[in-house]
Amino acid sequence: MKFIPYVCCGDPNLEFTEKLVETLSEHADIIELGIPFSDPIADGKTIQQAAARALKNGVTVEKIFEMVKRLRIKLKTPFVFMTYYNIVYSYGKEKFLNKMKELEVQGLIIPDLPFGEDPEFEKIAKEKEISIINLIAMNTPKERARKILEKEGMFTYLVSVSGVTGARSEIDGKSLEFVKRIREIGPQNKLCVGFGISNAENANKFVNAGAEGVIVGSMIVEMYSKGKTPEEYIEEIKKFSQGFKKTNKN
């Protein structure tokens, strides 16, 4: 299975984020770098609080770019940015994509930019060989899902719950049926499931239902936010990420 961990950049500081990304890169197929935004509508309490801490501590887009530049000297792991459209628009759409190209960040997830809403932006991204990673939700109509799958880049992000992000201990059967349904539409597509995955056992259920990989975010944030210094949890996070690579499709 593909393991795609999410990291909220700057929580609690960029020095820790850098160390965390290096640790996760040993087992990650792709790393999702979250650029904090003040109104993260797709995120639940855990990542909302992480974003708020990062912004309070002075993280900026430029500081995140500088961190990625340092990481790129050491790591070849594929990166994707996850942020909101206001961040990209305010920075300058083409300027943002140019910076991604320079930093070798291969993909971009923007939850509040619906598929097909900004064709000019999608065109520029394609010209720069940057993958816009689109989301399919449980209530996405079949024909719209098909069109999204036809434009697939690095992978297609399946939102496994009707709600926001957040670690969940159990998986609803409807979520598994959703993955199976999308797999039938696109047998060759690279489907990765996010929202609510908290352990390798549940991740494997999604893989058995037809997913190629999983995105895990809130659980990682929870692990280093338990009261001690975040650095004390690096080894625990390392073992956690190893578990996903030991889990294979049955």
Identify how many contiguous H helices and E strands the chain contains and give both numbers: 11, 9
Of 29, 43, 122, 212, which residue is the catalytic one? 43
Q: How many angstroms separate the CA atoms of 192 and 178, rounded? A: 12
- Residue 22 near residue 231 (C-beta atoms within 8 A): no
Prior bond of 187 cis (ω within 30°): no
Catalytic pick among 11, 29, 32, 118 = 32
What is the amino acid identity at position 23?
T
235 is catalytic: no
Q: Could you confirm whether 43 is annotated as catalytic?
A: yes
Residues 6+ apart with CB under 8 A from 150: none
CA distance 47 to 40: 8
Q: Which H, E and C letters describe 185-243, residue by residue?
A: HCCCCCEEEECCECCHHHHHHHHHHCCCEEEECHHHHHHCCCCCCHHHHHHHHHHHHHH
CA distance 44 to 191: 22
Question: Phi and psi for 108 in degrees, rounded to 5?
Answer: -145, 130
* Sign of the alpha-carbon dihedral angle for 180, 181, 187, 190: negative
* Tokens coding 225: 């936010």
Please give the positions annotated as active site. Answer: 32, 43
